[in-house]
Amino acid sequence: MDKKISIILSTYNEALAIEQTISEIFKYVKNVEIILVDDNSPDGTFEKVNKINNPNLKVFSKKSRGLAAAFLLGLVNSSGDVVGWIDSNQSLLAIRLPDMISKLDTNDIVLLSRYVQGGKDERSGLRILSSQTVNFLSRLILGSKIKDYTSGIFVMKRSVLNEVVPIAYGHGEFFIEFLYKAKKKGFNILEISFTQPPDMEGITKTAPNMFRFIYLGLFYIIRIILSIFRRD
C-alpha cells in the first residue's frame, strides 16, 4: 500500500497561479492530500480554492502570522506518513515530488537545492542576493554543510516531527532552525539539485524589495543565532 502523502501550501495573492499548482500536485503524486493555508489574501485566493471540489483538498484561512504558523496549521491538519511543503507559485516543481518522496526510503528529509552541483537560480537579482546571503550566513553561523535552507520545497518522514517541532512564528527562517535541529538530532538530510524558475504570478513571501530584504535579513540573522542557544 502506498504511503499517504500530505503536501502543505501557504498562499497570499496566488489566485492566478494556485489552481495550476494544486492540479500539478494531484497529477504527479499518488495517495496525496493537500492542506492549503491562505494568509487572508485580498485577491480572492481563498474563495477561489474553496470552490474546488476535491475531498483530498483541505482549505484554511489565517491572518498575517507568517510561514511558520501556516506550516504548523497545515501540519496539525495533516494525516500523511510523509509531510511536504512546496511554494504555492511553483507549480513547475511539483513534478519533482515523486522522486523526492522515493528517496525517503534511505533519508529522513529531502529538499531541492539551488546550490549543490547542477543547481541554478533564475529569479531576479535581488531574490538571488537575498537567498545566497541568508544561506551563506546560515552555514557560517551554524557550522552546517547544508547548501540551501530556503529553496521552499521539501519532504520528510513524519517520524522526524516526533523529535523536532517547528516553532510557530517567523517567515522562511523557521525552516533554517528546523533543519539545524534535525541535523543535530542525527536525521539524514539529502539535497537534490534543481533549477529555480522565475517567479510566477503571486506575491513573494520573502524579499520583494530592498527595504523588506534588509528587514527580514536582520530577522533571519537573529533567528539563526538564537537557534544555537535554544534548547531542544
User: What contacts 4, CB < 8 A, 6 or more positions away?
Assistant: 31, 32, 33, 79, 80, 81, 82
Strand partners, 159: none
Is pLDDT larger for residue 63 or for residue 229? Answer: 63
- Range with lowest mean pLDDT among 24-28, 205-209, 217-221: 205-209
What dihedral do alpha carbons 176, 180, 181, 185 form, nearest 10°? 150
pLDDT at 61: 92
Write the DSSP assignment of 62-94 as a string of letters. --S-HHHHHHHHHHHT---SEEEEE-TT-GGGG
Q: How remote is the C-alpha of 157 from its chain's centroid?
A: 15
* 39-96 pLDDT tens trace: 989 999 999 999 999 999 999 998 766 788 889 999 999 999 999 999 887 888 999 9
pLDDT at 203: 47
List the domains of the chain with CATH numbers: 5-229 (3.90.550.10)
Residue 207's pLDDT band (boundaries 50, 70, 90)? very low
pLDDT at 208: 47
Written as nine digits, the cell of 200 is 510566477
Is pLDDT larger for residue 223 or for residue 211? Answer: 223
Written as nine digits, the cell of 164 is 523536532
Q: Which amino acid is at 204?
A: T
Residue 144 is given by DSSP the state -
Alpha-helical regions (H) of 77-209: 97-102, 125-142, 173-184
Q: What percent of the chain has pLDDT over 90?
A: 53
Write the DSSP assignment of 201-214 as a string of letters. SS--SS-SSHHHHH
Average pLDDT for the chain: 86
